Structure 1
Amino acid sequence: MPVTSLKQLPFLPYTKNLTGQLIAAGCVRSAAVAEAFLQVPRHRFLSGFYPAAGSGRVQVTEDAPPELLELAYSDSTVTTHRLGDGVGHSSSSQPSVMAEMLELLELRPGLRVLEIGAGTGYNSALISRITQAPVVTVEATPQVAAEAAEAIAANGFDDLVRVVAGDGYLGWADGAPYDRVIVTCGIAGAAETWFEQLAPDGFILAPVAHGGLHPLMRIENGGDTPTARAISMADFITAGGPLYAGGRHTPESRNVALPTAERSVANHVPVDLPAVGGYDDLWFHLATRDTRTTKVHLPGSSSGTVSCGLVSEDDASAVLLQRGSTQLAGPASGRLAAEAETAVTEWLALGRPRLADRSCTLRRTGDETRPIWVPAQWTDGGRGAE
């Protein structure tokens, strides 16, 4: 029988379907996270969103047509605000990414959590459902924060979740100490204030800029020198202000179209990699060696179709490392390709170390009044030449 509204069919079938997808994909691995996705209705945290590129913003109500509800409960990012809204870009993250991060947080009842980037408030509601303990979520955009707070209250989570409209760099000292800090936007480094508000055995889970993307990293306060461990490749909307200070690839310079490719050279750089995993591992390795590593695309291709590449300082030359071939563009592309080949050969000699084998120390940088801790010296993570 067709579904026409949530009044005729409670939200449970929608959340059950989404949760089943996340379990099948391996993103949900614990009963606690599964139960949270089952019991927290995502659509009630979407006061409005854009169902497709070029469409207008629509309201999500209990009488929403089934196609909107199916989109709200699909495993996809949902854009809730565009730049033209006057509040900046904001979204509800892809549920599989949210689930993976919730699992990585190793949540359990009683843990106190600080979230940087409230978005719709859905993620903080999921966290509180698992921990049954205070959650503070900080949102820089006042309108987005107000909408999140309204959704939190309307769905009965305001007894545990506090939405703060403010600068995420500052965290929220009144709720400290926190057992976990989760960051839901791309950052160049961790704010010093988060370490000050972190419990001694706590950790930070954040998407930290590396190679033009934002891989997930687990950051721990090791005393004088914090450390980070890479977990998986990912990408997020970037934060503003001091959280993205000092990086070579700023939000404005990532993923720009290259000059027209002059030639394609088959197997010029050895990138004969497995379909899953190896490419991200190589990408991460190149970025540990060369800050010119970033995500790029060729003119005429979709900006969402990206490859790993080395881009010259003046952005006039580049080499794209693709599976089976290499695209060269610009006067310095030959030199860049030779340097990339050296780095790839090194990666192969190390035994193709995986992204998740990597760890690093952090160094303090940025404005002295608002410093951040950024990745410094990465381990090779090698298993020896094969």
Structure 2
Amino acid sequence: MTDQTTSPSLTARMAAYATTLRERGAIRTSPVERAFATVPRHLFLPGGYYTSGTFIPVPADPGDDLLDRIYSDTALMTHVPKSDDAAGRYSSTSQPRVIAAMLEALQLAPGMKVLEIGAGTGYNASLIAAITGAEVVTIDVSEVIVTEAAKAAERAGEKNVTALTADGYLGYPAKGPYDRIVVTCGVTGISPHWLDQLADDGQIVVPVAHGGFHPTLSVTRDGTRLIGRGVMSSDFMSAAGPLYAWQDGQTPALTEPLPPQPMTTWENVGPVLEDDAYYDLWFHLGTRTGRTTRAYVDGLDPAQGMACLHEPSRGTAWIQRTGHLHHVGDQAVADDLKALVHSWVDLGRPGIADHRAILERASDDETVFYPVEWHLREDYRQH
């Protein structure tokens, strides 16, 4: 660690940052809390970060205002696709709450070897190394991002991080097998190459495209089967190439707003829902129909949630946090959504962590193992 990271004021700030994450439930165990309290996040920003399109420089000795921002529960964008940006693509350090919850889901232990797909700033890999005390291999297709991650880990005094330029879909077999694999970009399924490099009792924690966002799943082997377990709501920048190949029958999130058209509103179709509960409903809808996605349209406030059923040739129906249902086109789509919302309520409002899936490839032509056969966990009981 640098002298700066051991100064009393910064030590206290980092300890408070870790304590806050634990109080909010993102951190549950002492090793994860200790990692957040000792790995200096401000050393993992390659010169600064973007906010509202403006680059904010972070000097070697940042002032209190910058440190307040850095040691808050906020994702920080470090690269954007601009001609004057070294990487020329999006890259970030994720929201600390999400990082912490993923580290807890990994169930890390001393000595475990970990592969990270998507190097980011190197912060996540260094947190993992602080917990395991073993080598963490982090890979990315961008040489710029890999170089920055390696330098940041070195600045922070973390000697167990190995940053390499490689294709995430292929993993890094030369360093395997791995006890854990963690993925920090949105994918549509599990690469077969990761499974080849995973220890028999290993685990993959991965954000998988589902219903128009990227909730995190924990994937393990059960004999010859792959089992996915819901972990939490999350959303990540999407991978490219074979890691983002769509399964037949699944509706990707729409990249452009729908054209304006007459809209009907049905009030109080569902309960009023806070963030976590709304994402529980959204996730559940995605387990019931591949029409579930996210779509934007003029007249609906995105802050109220944009989960919807979308059929391009028929219509679209949204359920928002208010409990109101809005629809355009064929009313039958709205009727389907209403029935699904009522079914979720009747089941006792199961959460993301109550859901399980089998992951399969229909043929060797499919590039990833997709979640199929969604069901509630065997010991789930309605409230």
TM over 0.5: yes
C-alpha displacement at 1:304, in angstroms?
Answer: 6.1
Please show how residues 179-198 of structure 1 align to structure 2 within 5 Å: 179-198=179-198
- Relative to structure 1, the CA distance from residue 146 to residue 54 in structure 2 (aligned partners, 3 Å threshold; closer, same or farther) is same
Hey, what does 1:341 align to over in structure 2? 338
- Please give the alpha-carbon distance, in whole angstroms, between the structure 1 residues aligned to 2:78 and 2:37: 22
- Please give the alpha-carbon distance, in whole angstroms, between the structure 1 residues aligned to 2:303 and 2:144: 28
- Please give the alpha-carbon distance, in whole angstroms, between the structure 2 residues aligned to 1:65 and 1:51: 17
Deviates more, 1:16-25 or 1:254-263: 254-263
C-alpha displacement at 1:232, in angstroms?
Answer: 1.5
Please show how residues 235-254 of structure 1 align to structure 2 within 5 Å: 235-247=235-247, 248-250=250-252, 253-254=253-254
Deviates more, 1:187-196 or 1:275-284: 275-284
- Please give the alpha-carbon distance, in whole angstroms, between the structure 2 residues aligned to 1:139 and 1:345: 43
Matched residue of 1:50: which SS?
A: strand
- Please give the alpha-carbon distance, in whole angstroms, between the structure 2 residues aligned to 1:107 and 1:308: 33
- Please give the alpha-carbon distance, in whole angstroms, between the structure 1 residues aligned to 2:8 and 2:382: 58
Matched residue of 1:347: which SS?
A: helix
- Please give the alpha-carbon distance, in whole angstroms, between the structure 1 residues aligned to 2:183 and 2:131: 18
Aligned pair partner of 1:379 in 364, 375, 381: 375
Matched residue of 1:26: which SS?
A: coil
Hey, what does 2:81 align to over in structure 1? 83
Runs of at least 5 residues in structure 2 that lack an aligned partner in the other structure: none
Aligned residue type for 1:175? K
Aligned residue type for 1:290? T
Aligned pair partner of 1:59 in 57, 60, 65: 57
Normalised to the residue count of structure 1, the TM-score between the two structures is: 0.89
Count of residue pairs brought into register by the alignment: 373
- Please give the alpha-carbon distance, in whole angstroms, between the structure 2 residues aligned to 1:27 and 1:205: 15
- Relative to structure 1, the CA distance from residue 49 to residue 292 in structure 2 (aligned partners, 3 Å threshold; closer, same or farther) is farther
- Please give the alpha-carbon distance, in whole angstroms, between the structure 1 residues aligned to 2:301 and 2:274: 21
Please show how residues 124-273 of structure 1 align to structure 2 within 5 Å: 124-157=125-158, 159-247=159-247, 248-250=250-252, 253-254=253-254, 256-260=256-260, 262-267=262-267, 270-273=269-272
Hey, what does 2:71 align to over in structure 1? 73
- Please give the alpha-carbon distance, in whole angstroms, between the structure 1 residues aligned to 2:50 and 2:180: 33
C-alpha displacement at 1:282, in angstroms?
Answer: 2.1
- Please give the alpha-carbon distance, in whole angstroms, between the structure 2 residues aligned to 1:48 and 1:317: 46
- Relative to structure 1, the CA distance from residue 60 to residue 347 in structure 2 (aligned partners, 3 Å threshold; closer, same or farther) is same
Deviations 1:283-316 (A, max 9, x none): 22211121111123332666566321111235x7
- Relative to structure 1, the CA distance from residue 266 to residue 180 in structure 2 (aligned partners, 3 Å threshold; closer, same or farther) is same
Query: Is 1:353 aligned with 2:350?
Result: yes
Matched-pair contact (CA < 8 Å) for 2:273–2:323: no
Hey, what does 2:18 align to over in structure 1? 19
- Please give the alpha-carbon distance, in whole angstroms, between the structure 1 residues aligned to 2:210 and 2:47: 32
Hey, what does 1:37 align to over in structure 2? 36
Normalised to the residue count of structure 2, the TM-score between the two structures is: 0.89
- Percent identity over the alignment is 36
- Relative to structure 1, the CA distance from residue 100 to residue 384 in structure 2 (aligned partners, 3 Å threshold; closer, same or farther) is closer
- Relative to structure 1, the CA distance from residue 359 to residue 8 in structure 2 (aligned partners, 3 Å threshold; closer, same or farther) is closer
Matched-pair contact (CA < 8 Å) for 2:129–2:135: yes
C-alpha displacement at 1:259, in angstroms?
Answer: 3.3
Matched-pair contact (CA < 8 Å) for 2:305–2:319: no
- Relative to structure 1, the CA distance from residue 10 to residue 321 in structure 2 (aligned partners, 3 Å threshold; closer, same or farther) is same
Matched-pair contact (CA < 8 Å) for 2:213–2:294: yes
Please show how residues 278-289 of structure 1 align to structure 2 within 5 Å: 278-289=277-288
Deviations 1:187-226 (A, max 9, x none): 1001101111111111101111111011111101234321
Aligned residue type for 1:79? M
- Please give the alpha-carbon distance, in whole angstroms, between the structure 2 residues aligned to 1:372 and 1:216: 16
Matched-pair contact (CA < 8 Å) for 1:92–1:120: yes
- Please give the alpha-carbon distance, in whole angstroms, between the structure 1 residues aligned to 2:40 and 2:204: 26
Query: Is 1:362 aligned with 2:350?
Result: no
Hey, what does 1:328 align to over in structure 2? 327
What do you get for the CA RMSD once the two structures are aligned?
2.5
Deviations 1:128-152 (A, max 9, x none): 0010011101112221111111112
Aligned residue type for 1:69? L
C-alpha displacement at 1:257, in angstroms?
Answer: 2.3
Matched-pair contact (CA < 8 Å) for 1:180–1:204: yes
- Please give the alpha-carbon distance, in whole angstroms, between the structure 2 residues aligned to 1:146 and 1:366: 37
Aligned residue type for 2:181? V
C-alpha displacement at 1:41, in angstroms?
Answer: 0.4
- Relative to structure 1, the CA distance from residue 67 to residue 301 in structure 2 (aligned partners, 3 Å threshold; closer, same or farther) is farther
- Relative to structure 1, the CA distance from residue 8 to residue 234 in structure 2 (aligned partners, 3 Å threshold; closer, same or farther) is closer
Matched residue of 2:169: which SS?
A: helix
- Please give the alpha-carbon distance, in whole angstroms, between the structure 2 residues aligned to 1:276 and 1:240: 28
C-alpha displacement at 1:163, in angstroms?
Answer: 0.5
Hey, what does 2:48 align to over in structure 1? 49
Deviations 1:75-130 (A, max 9, x none): 10000001112521000001111111111111111111111111000010010001
- Relative to structure 1, the CA distance from residue 256 to residue 9 in structure 2 (aligned partners, 3 Å threshold; closer, same or farther) is farther
- Please give the alpha-carbon distance, in whole angstroms, between the structure 1 residues aligned to 2:182 and 2:291: 28
- Please give the alpha-carbon distance, in whole angstroms, between the structure 2 residues aligned to 1:70 and 1:305: 28
- Please give the alpha-carbon distance, in whole angstroms, between the structure 2 residues aligned to 1:258 and 1:232: 28
Runs of at least 5 residues in structure 1 that lack an aligned partner in the other structure: none
Matched residue of 1:285: which SS?
A: helix
C-alpha displacement at 1:274, in angstroms?
Answer: 4.6
- Please give the alpha-carbon distance, in whole angstroms, between the structure 2 residues aligned to 1:367 and 1:240: 19
